[in-house]
Structures are given as structure tokens and as C-alpha cells.
């Protein structure tokens, strides 16, 4: 299984990274700049609106007062007075008149000048610094009026020290200007109306001198440095008495749209003071220029916000992309793992199948071998069985041979007795002793029966045994065997001691069982032949589903080493001609075939054989 690896970086090469970062920075800078310019453009639009409004206001203000002097000039009181200046009372009356007019029109000052430029009546006649008695012939508006025109002029009042706009109109009589009536208006009101913290409003005269400014420190300064000749001319005109007319020192930064960005204070570092947007518009009716400076801090703040927003957006996008990549990488790893697992499973499956196939082949082969072996065994067994059958047959014949002498004796004896009984019977018959004849005949009958039994026994050995089993009374079978062995027993002088309860029955083939018993008893006879004590004890007991038959003798017994060997075919300790060494082998085989067993038990006195057979419940 592969170790889980980290997802590949979004951008692998460091150069690509720096390129991307550079591109992002450039993009952000571009975005910031674009946003700033856009903000400045919007400010410019606002500024232009402001300028339009202010110009309209100023023009309205001037237009309001412009006809006033001409109207006053038509008043005959003025021309009369100029023609023949009256006494003190008429001057006062005129002063009061002008004062009234001035108050009603809301002008700053209204006054009347004679042809020499001397002020002969004024609305401010009662103030601390009245115009009355002062000569303003140097003022251009006076000269214009005396030339028969409407005089217009802006100046800083020589007497009042206040800025004012002057309208002057000649008082005519018979085509001759007797003097001029002047209306001075205060335009400082505009500064108060326009004052705003983020804007500076300036109005400059044709020489570029700021005479209106919403910031007092800007007043009577110039937009651009003045040539000395021009400065001298302005000073000569007493237009702005007591002023230095120093330049404002605006530093241009960049031109934008309809204006330009400027810095107000070149001494301050640029990051402490953001540029201002300067826009100007002419006001031809008065020959002025109206300017507005707007702080661009808001535009900068907006563009910074936009840049920050873009950074946040980019970061979010980057994070989403990284997460997506991580997710995709995880899924790829998962599918790779699944693929590997599937391949590994397939491999191991194939291996397993191959192993199973080879094992199957091996098994089939070994199965075949086993089958062959079984077949061989079966055949060997068959051969063995056949051999055994043959051996049994020969053993029977051998036994028959052994028995023949005994049988001979057994048959001869009754035959001799029968003959004696018959001879004797004939004699008795001749003597007419019929009762004794009958007794003799009875004896003969008994003897022939006994002979017939012996014959029957021998018949058993003559034919091949069938393995059919039946329920047999054990005692009867033992008696049959004992009868067959009676001559042998007699010869060896031994006694048979049966200890078999009469009811005990076994499930066995009678002939074969008898043969086994004959074998065991025959061996015992031979064993005890030379012993001082010659007894053979046959004991039978029922143990559950079996009957255990013990055959013990008082012979020399069987040495430990021979105990298993004696059941081997052809094992014998007897002299040649006396034993074939088949008896026990055949007997053990017969016992096994009948569902029992034959074993030799260890014993200290003589031999002890134990024959086990299936028990049978005898019918009473």
C-alpha cells in the first residue's frame, strides 16, 4: 500500500509562484489605481456641479446689485446735489437717503462721488470710518463711470479693509457725468456659505490672485508666482493694500480628466497628505476663475477597500481551489488505493486459483494413488482370504489327521462293544431271556448313536465352512469340541473343567466356533501332557453385549516374547510334524470374522487365552 502523499502544490515551480504573485500585485495595483481614478472622476463630477452652483450664486449676487447704481443715478436728488452741493442739512439728508437705500438693498456700502472722485455722501456716514470726504478717484470703477459706463471692480477696501465688489454708475446731466454713484457689496458671505471641511473654494481675479477662499490662509495669495511687473501694477492700483500676494505653492501631481491632482504642502511627506483634486471654471461676467479643491482621501479609502476586498476574494478563491485540489487529490488517492487493492485481490485470487488447481491436481493424483493402493490392498486381502480359506481347509485336514487315530479308537471301541452286545444278545435270545436281549439292543442303539455323532463331527471338517452365524448355547458347543478331543484328553491324562452357566449363548458359526475351541483345547492338551498337574479350565461370563470365554491350562505358559508371535501363521515351537503353526492364526481370524477377538493374556500359571464373542439371548 502506498504511503499517503501530500497533495501536489497548486503551482509547482517557484518561478511560476513569483510570476503569479507579481501578476496579482500588478492586478491589485491596477485595480486600486483604476478605483482611485474612478473615485476621483466621481469627485470631479461633484466638483463641477459645485462650481456651477457657486458661479450661479456669484452671478446671481452680482446681477442683483448690478442695476442698482444705474437706478440710483436716475434720482434727481443726486444730480441736484452734485450740481449744487448744499449745506450740511442736505448732505445729511442725502446720507440718510443712501443709508436707507443701502439697508433695503442689503448692500455693504452705497455712496456718491463727485466728478473729482471725492465721496460726498455715503451710507456709512455714521460709522467710525466713513467714506465721506475720501477720494477714490484712483479706483478704476470711478474712471469707468466717469467715462459713462458701468464700472465694476473688486478690491480690498482701503478704508474698511473689507473685500468688496463695486458697481459704479455715472450721474449724468445733459450728457455730462457730474459724478458717480457706487454700490459696494460684500461677497465674503459666499465663503461662509461654501465652507466645507473636505473642500476648499477659491475665486481668483484675472491676475490669479485669490480674493475669495473658504480657508482664510489662502486669501490674497496667488495660484502661480506673479511676474514682478504685474505685482508692481497690482500694488500701484491699491487693489489689495497690505497684502504680500505670495504664491500658494500648489504642487501638481497628475492631470486627471477636467482637473489635476495637486498637493497643498510640499513640505509634508506624501503619505501624510493625500492629493487634492483641483478644478477651475471661468466666470466671464466678472472676469474671474472659480476653483475648487476636493480632498481625494475618500476615493483612496474606497480604492483601498476594493483592493482589500479583492485580496479577500482572491484568498477565498485560492483557499477554495486548494481545498478542491486537496479533495480531488484525496479522491484520486482513494481510487488509486481501490484500484491497487482490486489488483492485489485479483492477483491473490489468481494465485489462489493456481494453487487450488495445483493442489487439486496433486489431490487427484494422490487420490488416484490411494484408490490404486486400496484396490491393491483389496486384491491382496482377497488373496489372503483365499489363502486363509485354503489354510483353514488344510488345518482342518491336519486336525483331521491328528484326530483320525482317536476317531479310529473311538469307533472301534463301540464297534467292539456292539459286536459283544450282539453276540451276547443272540445267546440270551437262544436262552429266551428276552429282557436282557432288549437291554443289549438298547446298549447297541446307544452305541450306534454315539458313532453317528462322531461321524457328524467329521462331516463338519469335510466341507467348507459358511460364515453364517446363529445363536448357540455355548455349553453345547464346548461339549461337542470336548467330544472330538476326548481321545486326546484321555491320552494326556488331563481333565477339562468347564465353568459355563447353562443359559450363556453366543452369536457365532457353530462349526467354526467348535474348531476354535478344538484348537485351544488341543493346544492345552499338548501343553499339560508333561506337567504334574493337568487341568484345563474353560470359564465363560457375560459382559454387556459380549461373552468372554477364558481357556486356562496348567501347562508351562507362553513366554512374554512369544505372546504376539503365536498368532502369526506358521509360528510354532513344536517339533516338526507335530504342529503347523496355523491353529491360533486361523482361530484369531475366525474370532474376528464373527465380531469377536482372541488374545493371549499374561499369566503366571500356564497359558491363558481369552476369546470374546457377541452375546446371544437364547430362547428358553
* Cβ distance to ligand ADP smaller for residue 414 or 555: 555
- From the list 218, 206, 264, 212, the residue with the least C-alpha distance to 244 is 218
Measured distance CA(620)–CA(503) in Å, rounded: 8
- 170 interacts with ligand ADP by CB under 6 A: no
Q: Which of 517, 584, 588, 594 binds ligand ADP (CB under 6 A)?
A: 584
Closest approach of Cβ 538 to ligand ADP, in Å?
A: 12
Based on the shown chain and the rule CB under 6 A, indicate whether residue 274 belongs to the binding site for ligand ADP. no
Q: Answer yes or no whether residue 608 interacts with ligand ADP by CB under 6 A.
A: no
The minimum distance between CB 609 and ligand ADP, in angstroms, equals 7
Of the candidates 140, 581, 595, 614, which one interacts with ligand ADP according to CB under 6 A?
581
* Least gap, CB of 487 to ligand ADP (angstroms): 17
Contact 596, 612 (CB under 8 A): yes
CA–CA distance, 512 with 592 (Å, rounded to integer): 12
Q: Grid coordinates standing for 74? A: 436716475
Least distance in angstroms from the C-beta of 510 to ligand ADP:
21
Of residues 462-521, which lie at the interface with ligand ADP (CB under 6 A)? 519
* 583 is a contact residue toward ligand ADP (CB under 6 A): yes
Which of 571, 603, 614, 618 binds ligand ADP (CB under 6 A)? It is 571
Taking the least distance from each CB to ligand ADP, the nearer of 250 and 582 is: 582
610 binds ligand ADP per the rule CB under 6 A: no
For ligand ADP, the closer CB: 39 or 569? 569
User: Is 572 near ligand ADP (CB under 6 A)?
Assistant: yes
- CA angle centred on 103, ends 99 and 104, rounded to 5°: 120
The smaller minimum CB distance to ligand ADP, of residues 455 and 556, is found at: 556
Contacts of 369 (CB under 8 A, 6+ apart): none
The DSSP bridge partners found for residue 470 are 508
Cα–Cα distance between 486 and 453 in angstroms, integer? Answer: 13
Question: How far is 321 from 414, CA to CA, in rounded Å?
Answer: 128
Q: How many residues bind ligand ADP (CB under 6 A)?
A: 21
Give me the count of residues in the chain: 620
Is there binding between residue 607 and ligand ADP (CB under 6 A)? yes
Name which of residues 510 to 569 contact ligand ADP (CB under 6 A): 519, 523-524, 527, 553, 555-556, 558, 566
Between 123 and 519, name the residue whose CB sits nearer to ligand ADP: 519
Shortest Å, Cβ 577 to ligand ADP: 10
d(CA 611, CA 427): 53
In whole angstroms, what is the distance from residue 258 CA to residue 277 CA?
10
CB atoms within 10 A of CB 26: 10
E strands, 434-580, are 470-473, 495-499, 504-508, 535-543, 546-553
Q: CB-based contacts of 144: which residues, under 8 Å, 6+ apart? A: 150, 151, 152, 153, 168
Binding of ligand ADP by 268 (CB under 6 A): no
Task: Confirm or reject binding of residue 603 to ligand ADP (CB under 6 A).
Answer: no
Instruction: Considering the complex, state which of residue 274 and residue 571 has its C-beta at the smaller distance from ligand ADP.
Output: 571
Q: Taking phi first (over 0 means left), then psi (-120 to 50 degrees means alpha), and beta for anything else, what does residue 148 get?
A: left
Q: Is 573 in the site for ligand ADP (CB under 6 A)?
A: yes
Closest to ligand ADP by CB, 504 vs 521, is: 521
| Sign of the Cα pseudo-torsion (133, 137, 141, 147, in order) | positive
Distance CA 141, CA 128 (A): 24
Q: If binding is defined by CB under 6 A, does position 580 make contact with ligand ADP?
A: yes
Nearer to ligand ADP, 181 or 538 (CB): 538
Show Cβ contacts of residue 206 under 8 Å, excluding neighbours closer than 6 positions.
Answer: 287, 288
Stretch that binds ligand ADP, among 117-125, 198-206, 499-507, 577-585 (CB under 6 A): 577-585
DSSP characters over 144-185: HHHTTS-EEEEEE-TTT--EEEEEEEEEEETTEEEEEEEEEE
Indicate the residue among 112 and 517 with the shorter CB distance to ligand ADP: 517
Interface with ligand ADP includes 605 (CB under 6 A)? no
Smallest gap from Cβ 571 to ligand ADP, in A, equals 6
Q: Contact 289/281 with Cβ under 8 angstroms? A: yes
Q: In this chain, which residue has its C-beta nearest to ligand ADP?
A: 579
Which is closer to ligand ADP, CB of 506 or CB of 527?
527
Contacts with ligand ADP by CB under 6 A lie at 519, 523-524, 527, 553, 555-556, 558, 566, 571-574, 579-585, 607
Amino acid at each position: 500500500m502506498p504511503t499517503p502523499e501530500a497533495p501536489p502544490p497548486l503551482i509547482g515551480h517557484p518561478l511560476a509562484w513569483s510570476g503569479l504573485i507579481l501578476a496579482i500585485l500588478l492586478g491589485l495595483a491596477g485595480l486600486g489605481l483604476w478605483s482611485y481614478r474612478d473615485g476621483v472622476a466621481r469627485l470631479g463630477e461633484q466638483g463641477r456641479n459645485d462650481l456651477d452652483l457657486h458661479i450661479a450664486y456669484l452671478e446671481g449676487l452680482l446681477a442683483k446689485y448690478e442695476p442698482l447704481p444705474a437706478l440710483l443715478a436716475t434720482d434727481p436728488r443726486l444730480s441736484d446735489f452734485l450740481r449744487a452741493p448744499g449745506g450740511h442739512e442736505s448732505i445729511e439728508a442725502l446720507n440718510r437717503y443712501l443709508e436707507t437705500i443701502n439697508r433695503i438693498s442689503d448692500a455693504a456700502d452705497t455712496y456718491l462721488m463727485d466728478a473729482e472722485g471725492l465721496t460726498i455722501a455715503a451710507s456709512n456716514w455714521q460709522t467710525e470710518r466713513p467714506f465721506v470726504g475720501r477720494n477714490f478717484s484712483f479706483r478704476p470703477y470711478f474712471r469707468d463711470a466717469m467715462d459713462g459706463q458701468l464700472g465694476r471692480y473688486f478690491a480690498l477696501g482701503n478704508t474698511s479693509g473689507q473685500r468688496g465688489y463695486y458697481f459704479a454708475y455715472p450721474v449724468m446731466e445733459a450728457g455730462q457725468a457730474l459724478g458717480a454713484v457706487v454700490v459696494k457689496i460684500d461677497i465674503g458671505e459666499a465663503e461662509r456659505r461654501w465652507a466645507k471641511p473636505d473642500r476648499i473654494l477659491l475665486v481668483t481675479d484675472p491676475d490669479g490672485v485669490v480674493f475669495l477662499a473658504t480657508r482664510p490662509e489662502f486669501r490674497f495669495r496667488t495660484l502661480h508666482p506673479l511676474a514682478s511687473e504685474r505685482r508692481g501694477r497690482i500694488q500701484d492700483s491699491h487693489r489689495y493694500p497690505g497684502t504680500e500676494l505670495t504664491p500658494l505653492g500648489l504642487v501638481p501631481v497628475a492631470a486627471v480628466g477636467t482637473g489635476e491632482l495637486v498637493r497643498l504642502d510640499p513640505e509634508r511627506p506624501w503619505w501624510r497628505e493625500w492629493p487634492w483634486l483641483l478644478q477651475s471654471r471661468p466666470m466671464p461676467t466678472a472676469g474671474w476663475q472659480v476653483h475648487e479643491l476636493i480632498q481625494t482621501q475618500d476615493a483612496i479609502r474606497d480604492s483601498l477597500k476594493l483592493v482589500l476586498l479583492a485580496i479577500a476574494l482572491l484568498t477565498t478563491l485560492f483557499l477554495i481551489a486548494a481545498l478542491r485540489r486537496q479533495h480531488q487529490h484525496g479522491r484520486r488517492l482513494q481510487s488509486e488505493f481501490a484500484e491497487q487493492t482490486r489488483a492485489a485481490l485479483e492477483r491473490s485470487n489468481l494465485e489462489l486459483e493456481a494453487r487450488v488447481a495445483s493442489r487439486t491436481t496433486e489431490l487427484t493424483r494422490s487420490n488416484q494413488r490411494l484408490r490404486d493402493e486400496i484396490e491393491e490392498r483389496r486384491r491382496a486381502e482377497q488373496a489372503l482370504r483365499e489363502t486363509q480359506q485354503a489354510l483353514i481347509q488344510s488345518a482342518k485336514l491336519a486336525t483331521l489327521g491328528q484326530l483320525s487315530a482317536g476317531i479310529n479308537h473311538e469307533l472301534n471301541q463301540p464297534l467292539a462293544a456292539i459286536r459283544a452286545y450282539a453276540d451276547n444278545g443272540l445267546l440270551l435270545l437262544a436262552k429266551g431271556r428276552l429282557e436282557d436281549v432288549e437291554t443289549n439292543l438298547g446298549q447297541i442303539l446307544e452305541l450306534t448313536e454315539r458313532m453317528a455323532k462322531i461321524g457328524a463331527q467329521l462331516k463338519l471338517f469335510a466341507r467348507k465352512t459358511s460364515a453364517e452365524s446363529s445363536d448357540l448355547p455355548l455349553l453345547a458347543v464346548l461339549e461337542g469340541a470336548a467330544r472330538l478331543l476326548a481321545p486326546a484328553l484321555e491320552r494326556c491324562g488331563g481333565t477339562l473343567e468347564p465353568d459355563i452357566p447353562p443359559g450363556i449363548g453366543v452369536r457365532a458359526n457353530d462349526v467354526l466356533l467348535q474348531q476354535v475351541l478344538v484348537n485351544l483345547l488341543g493346544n492345552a492338551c499338548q501343553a499339560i501332557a508333561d506337567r504334574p498337574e493337568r487341568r484345563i479350565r474353560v470359564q465363560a461370563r457375560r459382559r454387556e453385549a459380549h461373552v468372554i470365554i477364558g481357556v486356562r491350562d496348567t501347562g508351562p505358559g507362553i513366554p512374554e516374547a512369544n505372546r504376539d508371535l503365536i498368532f502369526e501363521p506358521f509360528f510354532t515351537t513344536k517339533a516338526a510334524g507335530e504342529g503347523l503353526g496355523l491353529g491360533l492364526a486361523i482361530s484369531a481370524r475366525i474370532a474376528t470374522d464373527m465380531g469377536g477377538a482372541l488374545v493371549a493374556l499374561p499369566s503366571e500359571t500356564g497359558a491363558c487365552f481369552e476369546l470374546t464373542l457377541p452375546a446371544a439371548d437364547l430362547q428358553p
